[in-house]
Structure 1
Amino acid sequence: MKLATFLATTAALSVAVAGAAVAQDREGWPESFTVGTASQGGTYFAYGSGWANLVAEELGISGGGEVTGGPMQNMALVHTGDAQFGMTTMGPAAESINGTNPIAPGLQMTNACAMFPMYQTPFSVTALSSSGIESVADIPDGARIGFGPAGSTSDTYFPRMMEELGVNFDRRNGGWSDLGSQLQDGLLDVIAFAAGVPVPAVSQLEVQTDVNIIEFTEEEQAAIMEAFPVSQFDIAADTYTTLEADARSVSMWNFAIANCDLPASFVYAVVDTVMSDNERMVNIHRAARTTVPENWDKNTVMMWHPGAAQWFEENAGADIADDMIHSSM
């Protein structure tokens, strides 16, 4: 009886201590959170809403994705705290930190911290098969090209890339779903996508009509890599039913970001939820195949959130320099 009483008391104390630890761990956590994504029909929206819902469910906190203008706006929203989390690409992140984000010129957005690696954003071109456009060189003078939402990664870099390749175009902006409809209706000649693959809008187009997914030539790829912060990338043949072979492209890495003032324990828990089970993330979107711990080193631009840095140091053997971890001091 004494032993049973002792064990019962010990178990009760253990539960109480564990409960207190959990309560302490959650000190300062927000009651809800928002993840800045991008327009509907793009990869950011599907991917971001997916991991937001996963985190909300796992941690028991209200949260979800929010339609935004994409990486540039997400940097601004997260920096100011209007969104707790967001997603960005390395190029827009660097511009935002340097104070050249067109949303707020001169403002150095240093309060948006790196949280976890997402995937590479390939730059790809799509046209209707009926247009006869099968290469970048085939794009006619003055072609109406949709570059995605204003201020997005695509809108920031793809027009410059097209100019680098000698393409003369009429620039159009809009959400990916809307641009896909405009292409199908003959209101656009080309859509220049910068989004994780498969891009939902392209997959939808494939179901409804015949499209050409246009790859860069080796010379075009080399010219773009020389002029912009991108790397070599091949869009795998099994990404789209239209492709019969891998398509030559270039890409830029994406990272999830967090407001730097969020509690370290909260961000640690969010990173743990996303990074600890890749299969769940891949079920949200196939682009998450590279949302894995070993890709922590793809962040070469942003300061790390302390909670995220701790997770990668403890679980991925990351060697993150102290001067790359944000400090409120």
Structure 2
Amino acid sequence: MRRRPILLAGPALLGAGRAAAQATIPFYAAGPGSAFLPYAEAVARFAATRGVPLDVRRSAGSLENLRRVEDEPGAIGTAFLGSVVDALGGTPAAGGRRHVAIRALFPMYETGFMAAAPRAKGLTRFADLAGKRVGCGPARGPAETFFRAAAEVAGFSAEIASGDSAPLAEATIRGEIDALWQGAIIPIPALVQVADAVDTVIIGPGEDVARGVVARLPHLAPLTVPAGTYRGQAESVSSFAAWNFVVANAAMPEEQAYAITKAVLSAGDPARDIAAMAAGTRAANAGTNRVLAFHPGAVRALREAGATVPEIAAPR
């Protein structure tokens, strides 16, 4: 379903980026219920105040967005870096098609992974989940995939309980499963639900296991969740996160990619100026992408903002 472009009056970008910013740019996001859609809409509202009009369009999410950007030189889209890996490799998830035209523009937000367990269960460390019944969201989804990877690095196995996050959270609160492992924008809503209902321990895999998982899966990055993020969380938690980026086609003119990236990164406080979920939309987080080459226009904008941009080979 196509949505009307979000256009707000505001000053246009100065210099060469101004002309490039005038054409309305298709911005593929996701459908209702996905964090991609409100994020894209918030970014579009902010970009419009900088003279960059974005037309937010609903889609099925990352893989469709990557396919559309691959085929539409003038489009941009939201994408999970795990899906980018599939697209670059032409895996079955990506329809067996290798994507060679996609390029990174700027970081969106991180999807952190961790567990919540009622304190009455006596579980305090990741290793304590060995042999326990752990809720991991939909079967074969990202949460389950990353939990299995972390458990393998830690050297144990657990019984996986699959299902939607809300029922699994209720089952955790009732003590029917031992812990709930989830991945989402932090604080993770399902873990907040558990922590607000019962005395809870928030459990991450720890620095060593997280480092091992990141070494195996380059689209992940280390993560530290500060104490106090969840009710009753007395200590920080070490884990890993999967980042999401906005992507463009390599054929997009450099000035246009520069204008888009510069506009979004001009937010002094992205959590305040764009949306709370955009707190990670900062040039400093460019380095969390280690799998997809950046568009030259984005590289220029990121470096102007003080970022160190990883040198990643473009797909061929």
**TM-score if structure 2 supplies the norm length?**
0.72
Is the contact between residue 132 and residue 178 of structure 2 (CA under 8 Å) also seen in structure 1?
no
The alignment status of 1:239 with 2:229, answered yes or no, reads yes
The aligned counterpart of 2:24 is: 29
**Secondary structure at the counterpart of residue 149 of structure 2:** helix
Is the contact between residue 44 and residue 54 of structure 2 (CA under 8 Å) also seen in structure 1?
no
Cα distance in structure 2, aligned partners of 1:208 and 1:65:
37
Is the contact between residue 105 and residue 247 of structure 2 (CA under 8 Å) also seen in structure 1?
yes
Cα distance in structure 1, aligned partners of 2:43 and 2:268:
11
Is the contact between residue 88 and residue 257 of structure 1 (CA under 8 Å) also seen in structure 2?
no
Is the contact between residue 73 and residue 151 of structure 1 (CA under 8 Å) also seen in structure 2?
no
Cα distance in structure 2, aligned partners of 1:193 and 1:88:
16
Q: Give the 4+ runs in structure 1 shifted more than 6 A.
A: none
**Secondary structure at the counterpart of residue 244 of structure 1:** coil
Deviations 1:122-166 (A, max 9, x none): 3211234454443333336362522458654x3443322234431
**Secondary structure at the counterpart of residue 157 of structure 2:** coil
Change over 3 Å in CA distance of 1:22–1:302 after alignment to 2: closer
Deviation at 1:79, TM superposition (A): 3.4
Equivalent residue letter for 1:98: G
Change over 3 Å in CA distance of 1:318–1:137 after alignment to 2: closer
Deviations 1:96-136 (A, max 9, x none): 21223x42353112232101123444321123445444333
The alignment status of 1:98 with 2:89, answered yes or no, reads yes
Moved more, 278-287 or 164-173: 278-287
The alignment status of 1:87 with 2:79, answered yes or no, reads yes
Is the contact between residue 114 and residue 308 of structure 1 (CA under 8 Å) also seen in structure 2?
yes
Cα distance in structure 2, aligned partners of 1:233 and 1:113:
24
Deviation at 1:279, TM superposition (A): 0.8
Q: Give the alignment's Cα RMSD to 1 decimal.
A: 4.2
Percentage identity across paired residues of the two chains: 23
Deviations 1:61-89 (A, max 9, x none): 464475755x5565445435597311323
Aligned length: 301
Cα distance in structure 2, aligned partners of 1:223 and 1:23:
45
1:302 maps to which of 278, 285, 292 = 292
- Structure 2 gap ranges (5+): 1-12
1:194 maps to which of 175, 183, 202 = 183
Deviation at 1:213, TM superposition (A): 1.1
The alignment status of 1:215 with 2:207, answered yes or no, reads no
The aligned counterpart of 1:275 is: 265
Deviation at 1:245, TM superposition (A): 1.3
The alignment status of 1:110 with 2:100, answered yes or no, reads yes
Cα distance in structure 1, aligned partners of 2:170 and 2:70:
34
Cα distance in structure 2, aligned partners of 1:60 and 1:231:
30
Equivalent residue letter for 2:148: P
Equivalent residue letter for 2:28: T
Change over 3 Å in CA distance of 1:324–1:223 after alignment to 2: closer
2:126 maps to which of 105, 121, 136 = 136
2:135 maps to which of 110, 127, 145 = 145
The aligned counterpart of 1:4 is: none
Is the contact between residue 136 and residue 147 of structure 2 (CA under 8 Å) also seen in structure 1?
no
Change over 3 Å in CA distance of 1:262–1:246 after alignment to 2: same
**Secondary structure at the counterpart of residue 302 of structure 1:** coil
Is the contact between residue 125 and residue 190 of structure 1 (CA under 8 Å) also seen in structure 2?
yes
Is the contact between residue 222 and residue 239 of structure 2 (CA under 8 Å) also seen in structure 1?
yes
Equivalent residue letter for 1:162: A
Deviation at 1:275, TM superposition (A): 0.7
The aligned counterpart of 1:162 is: 151
Cα distance in structure 2, aligned partners of 1:170 and 1:287:
29
2:245 maps to which of 246, 255, 268 = 255
Deviation at 1:276, TM superposition (A): 0.9
Deviation at 1:243, TM superposition (A): 1.1
Larger radius of gyration: 1
**TM-score if structure 1 supplies the norm length?**
0.69
Change over 3 Å in CA distance of 1:131–1:222 after alignment to 2: same
The aligned counterpart of 1:11 is: none
- Structure 1 gap ranges (5+): 1-17
Is the contact between residue 86 and residue 94 of structure 2 (CA under 8 Å) also seen in structure 1?
no
Deviation at 1:237, TM superposition (A): 0.8
**Secondary structure at the counterpart of residue 28 of structure 2:** strand
Equivalent residue letter for 2:27: F
